[in-house]
A and B are shown apart, each in its own frame.
Chain A
Amino acid sequence: MIGNDIVDLKFASSSPNWRRDRFLDKVFSAREQKIISESLNPFQTLWLLWSMKESAYKIYVRQHSKKFFTPTKVKCNLFSSNDGIVEIFHETYKTNTTIDKDYIYTIAFKDFSENIISDCFKLENTTYSNQHYTSYQNLLYAIAELENVTPTSLVIKKDEFGRPILYRNNHAQNISLSITHHGYYGGYAFLK
């Protein structure tokens, strides 16, 4: 299973609240706040941990068909600036993060043996319809190329839990996918 999350750092810095203590208290544990404040680049580390939480949460929802919104219940551990583990209740997920000056992109997965295909890309503009359309189209074309099918035979629809499901000729496919976009950046990930 797979989850991903992208943060456009310029976009994130425009959020009015992230500098406030109350924002930190609502999202991060005391231990995570210490990791952030002691890091060389607290702003970058904050959004690194955020994207770890988001991407792991997406797998959790896929696995358990259960949504929740309590970021402090999602616990991050960093092993290096790119690799970490996220715990959600009794589940543990691994994460790998790409850190760019403009964006942070994290993929969360269950185990190393999984064959993950993922990409992230810059978007033309930040309207929701463009973010959504471009990210979905890029994913559909990537799957179509891999499976050697026409992209028009594929459709992605979200289910009641907000999970993206791939349909081929109207039949739901058993493939784990995750899509993310934020500001000028988008990304997809799926398991081969």
Chain B
Amino acid sequence: MNMKREELITKLKKIIMPYVQDEEAFKKLSSETDFIRDLKINSANLVDIVLDVEDEFNIKIENDDMEKMISVEGAMGIINTRLEEE
């Protein structure tokens, strides 16, 4: 199953919102948005995001996949890949 892009972004935004430290950058969120550089999310919270994504989408993100979980585009790619395997 391949979730619609809009639906996926909406769900992802809901997950990352509590950890965002730059509200302005969050309002302008695009697929290129970097969690650390742009949203100023701290690195411990990056792990929280990975766990919250696993819960929300009921998928498993391997430690090697975490490399890509640092931007909106990267996270969406991993989520879609894992959902297709389900």
- A residues lining the B interface (CB < 8 Å): 7, 12, 15-18, 20, 22-23, 25-27, 50, 54, 67-72, 128, 162, 182
- CB contacts (< 8 Å) of B69 on chain A: these are 69
Given known contacts A69-B70, A70-B66, A128-B22, is B44 in contact with A12 (CB within 8 Å)? Answer: yes
Given A70-B63, A70-B67, A128-B22: A26 in contact with B37 (beta carbons within 8 A): no
Identify B36's interface contact among A22, A71, A162, CB under 8 A.
A162
Chain B residues contacting A128 (CB-CB under 8 Å) are 21-22, 40
Tell me if B42 counts as interface (CB < 8 A to partner A): yes
Chief secondary structure at chain B's binding surface: helix
Complex alpha-carbon distance, A175 and B16, angstroms = 35
Whole-angstrom CA separation of A51 from B63 in the bound complex: 19
Q: Chain B residues near A162 (CB, 8 Å)?
A: 36-37
Q: Which 4 pairs between the two chains have the least Cβ-Cβ distance?
A: A128-B21, A17-B48, A17-B51, A128-B40
Q: A160 CB to closest chain B CB, in angstroms?
A: 9
Judging by beta carbons under 8 Å apart, are B67 and A26 in contact? no
Contacts A68-B67, A70-B64 given; indicate if A26 touches B51 (C-beta within 8 A).
yes
What is the bound-complex CA distance between A162 and B37, given in angstroms?
Answer: 7
Contact B63 A72 (CB under 8 A): yes
Q: Are B22 and A15 in contact (CB under 8 A)?
A: no
Interface string of B59-82 (1 = CB under 8 A from A): 000011011011000000000000
Q: How far is the CA of A25 from the CA of B63 in the complex (A)?
A: 9
CB pair B43 A54 closer than 8 Å: yes
A26 CB contacts on chain B under 8 angstroms: 47, 50-51, 63, 66
A20 and B64 CA atoms in complex are apart in Å by 19
Residue of B nearest to A47 (CB): B44
CB distance from A112 to the nearest CB of B (A): 27
Tell me if A71 and B47 are in contact (CB < 8 A): yes
17 contacts between A and B (CB under 8 A): A12-B44, A16-B48, A17-B48, A20-B51, A22-B51, A22-B54, A25-B63, A26-B47, A54-B43, A68-B67, A69-B43, A69-B46, A69-B70, A70-B67, A72-B63, A128-B22, A128-B40
